[in-house]
Amino acid sequence: AALNGHAFGAGAMFALVHDQRVARRDRGWFCFPEVDIGLRLHPFMLAFTRARLGDAVALEALTAGRRYDGEAAVAAGIASSSVAEVELIGTAIDLATARAGKNPEMVAQMKRDLYAPVLAAFDASE
């Protein structure tokens, strides 16, 4: 995902759906503001956020509503890189291209295995 500006709430969740994220260095924040507006995450969304960010970053992001600029997002592992606007799309394409050609069935199975607890949280919520 190429994050060209703010990714708040559902936008942050949508960014996490992507395997890799590139943030703009000079503009935008990644943030879960739910704590400030009184909203809880669905159990599946919480499990997914923890799986993508790790417990320590998820704790800070969700309970503090921290706004991560591009460099802070890289330091926290939210984004793989933070680049100038003119490099954003090219960098995102390069990241995606590096994964192209992998066996899609094997990639899908690896993701099912990696995210088994998240899928269980989804199944439990039905």
Strand partners, 68: 30
**pLDDT, averaged across the chain:** 94
pLDDT in tens, 42-97: 888 999 999 999 999 999 999 999 999 999 999 999 999 999 999 999 999 999 99
Burial group, residue 84, by CB count within 10 angstroms (0-12, 13-18, 19+): exposed
What percent of the chain has a predicted confidence (pLDDT) above 70? 99
- Residues 57 and 76 sit within 8 Å (Cβ to Cβ): yes
Cα separation, 26 vs 11, whole angstroms: 18
Q: What is the pLDDT of residue 121?
A: 84
Token match 């192209």: residue? 100
Q: What is the pLDDT of residue 126?
A: 63
Torsion of the alpha carbons at 8, 67, 75 and 108, rounded to the nearest 10: -20
